[in-house]
Amino acid sequence: MKNKIIYADNAATTAMSEVAVAAMMPYLKQVYGNPSSLHSVGQAAKEALDNARAIIAKCLNCDAKEIYFTSGGSESDNQAIRSAAINGAKKGKKHIVTTAFEHHAVLHTLKKLEKEGFEVTYLDVHENGIVTAEEVAAAIRPDTALVTVMYANNEVGTIQPVKEIGAACRERGVVFHTDAVQAVGHVPVDVKAENIDMLSLSAHKFHGPKGVGALYCRRGVPLAVLVEGGAQERGKRAGTENIAGAVAMAAALENACENMQKNSSKLLALRERLIDGLLKIPHSKLNGDRARRLPNNVNICFEGTEGESLLLHLDAAGICASSGSACTTASLEPSHVLLALGLPHEIAHGSLRLTLSPENTEEEIDYIIKTVPDAVDKVRKVSSFWDDLTSGKIRHFI
Ligand SMILES: *Cc1c(COP(=O)(O)O)cnc(C)c1O
């Protein structure tokens, strides 16, 4: 086991599936045309793009015309939120409802909009990492232009009651966007049945390539242009299309959806084994609801540890994990997600996120279960906070 690397950071990004790589190859060198060209090479590329769009639409249960290709989840989030804001402002609606534990692609866009005169309500989530549809509904006002609530959280993996939130928005005539980057390809997503107006997805989170994603925008919901230029994507997103990326994304998503049941039952077994194993460590706690979470997500706090140090010890032992979200590891601020769940700062620092893929094995899980306690011990040994806890100077939180 020593020289083998165990990758357990699939919420950060995934390896491309074989089917996605194979689907992509012909579009790198043979079918390299520009879909806007009228000749045969261009038209072959256009056909591939249309086909990819149809596959993605089928997986989400929408029309192909409702899918817009983008550069990934961040761009889709930006375009969806900006669109609803611009359109709302035209009608004098400048209020937006969201949660405090969204991805930064959402939160930073909203912060910008606040500076531009919008008012944003950030709903707290419960300790289980879930916001209720009733809470969202209660926050909607006559001047609400948009509700944006993520489908599944990227740190704690908790799944939100999207269908009910969508129904509450539909009833009140408010546009509902969901950042489903962690959900698509992992749990069943149906934009029609779940009353979703706009949805963001990203290929590299479901074993497709990086730098390509899509935005679903329901027919009739206005979409604003963020990238000006040519008339690609029905005039809503300029730039020569990433054909190879779109084709690979479609192949990855189709593959993920076809194998979803098989994969999630395997992942569930691995996840439960890992949670049981790690919770044997004293003063540890699972973050987020145990059942209503992504089948591949484990997020645990170890009191008296510091996430970054834990990661270094695990990396040295060949385990790739994450503390909170990859976007925040560079800063020493604790995760905004764990703080939104109501965890005190001291504990929010000491969290470990392990996100699995169907490639992981039971043997790997057992190696992680065997290795983490040592890493936790090492970090606690040099922690003055842990000293204070064990000496009784500070009371244990967990
Ligand atoms: C990864 C992620 C994003 C950003 O997607 P990119 O394709 O990397 O831009 C947005 N939201 C969530 C929930 C994510 O997990």
Residue 84, C-beta contacts closer than 8 angstroms, at least 6 positions apart: 96, 145, 146, 148, 175, 177, 198
Q: With a 6 A CB cut-off, is 157 part of the ligand 1 pocket? A: no
Locate 334 and state its tokens.
């604790």
CA of 216 relative to ligand 1 center, distance in Å: 15
Locate 6 and state its tokens.
């165990």
CA of 74 relative to ligand 1 center, distance in Å: 6
Ligand 1 site-directed mutation target among 79, 162, 179, 189, most atoms within 8 Å of CB: 179
pLDDT attached to residue 3? 65
CA of 311 relative to ligand 1 center, distance in Å: 21
Residue 66, C-beta contacts closer than 8 angstroms, at least 6 positions apart: 57, 191, 216, 217, 218, 219
User: Considering the entire predicted model, what is its pTM?
Assistant: 0.96
Spatial distance between the Cα atoms of 61 and 83, rounded to a whole number of angstroms: 22
User: 260-278 and 362-381 are packed helices; what angle lies between their axes, rounded to 10 degrees?
Assistant: 30
Question: Which residue, among 325, 235, 258, 332, has the nearest Cα to 287 in the 3D structure?
Answer: 325
DSSP H helices, the chain, are 18-24, 26-29, 40-60, 73-90, 104-115, 133-139, 162-172, 232-235, 243-258, 260-278, 307-316, 336-340, 345-348, 362-381, 384-390
Q: With a 6 A CB cut-off, is 349 part of the ligand 1 pocket? A: no
Residue 141, C-beta contacts closer than 8 angstroms, at least 6 positions apart: 95
Nearest atom of ligand 1 to the alpha carbon of 153: 13
Nearest atom of ligand 1 to the alpha carbon of 150: 13
Question: Which residue, among 249, 267, 251, 246, has the nearest Cα to 186 in the 3D structure?
Answer: 267
CA dihedral 249, 253, 259, 264 (to 10 degrees): 110
- Cα Rg for the chain, rounded, in angstroms? 22
CA of 88 relative to ligand 1 center, distance in Å: 25
Spatial distance between the Cα atoms of 213 and 80, rounded to a whole number of angstroms: 13
pLDDT attached to residue 2? 52
- The string of DSSP letters for 11-52 reads TT--PPPHHHHHHHTHHHHTS---TT--SHHHHHHHHHHHHH
User: 362-381 and 307-316 are packed helices; what angle lies between their axes, rounded to 10 degrees?
Assistant: 130
How confident is the chain (398 residues) per 10-residue block, as mean pLDDT? 84 98 96 96 97 98 98 98 98 98 97 98 96 98 98 97 98 98 98 98 98 98 96 96 98 98 98 98 95 97 88 96 59 77 78 96 98 96 89 88
Ligand 1 site-directed mutation target among 99, 154, 337, most atoms within 8 Å of CB: 154
Spatial distance between the Cα atoms of 163 and 74, rounded to a whole number of angstroms: 23
* Catalytic (active-site) positions: 327
Distances (CA, A) of 13 to 162, 171, 227, 387, 397: 23, 36, 25, 36, 32
3-state SS class at 165 = helix
Q: With a 6 A CB cut-off, is 218 part of the ligand 1 pocket? A: no
Question: Which residue, among 292, 309, 290, 291, has the nearest Cα to 300 in the 3D structure?
Answer: 290
Residue 316 Rama label (left phi>0; alpha psi -120 to 50; beta): alpha
- Pairing type for strands 6-7 and 198-202 reads unpaired
Any idea which residue has 């290709």 for tokens? 69
Largest CA distance in the chain: 77
Q: With a 6 A CB cut-off, is 79 part of the ligand 1 pocket? A: no
Nearest atom of ligand 1 to the alpha carbon of 11: 15
Locate 111 and state its tokens.
């912060």
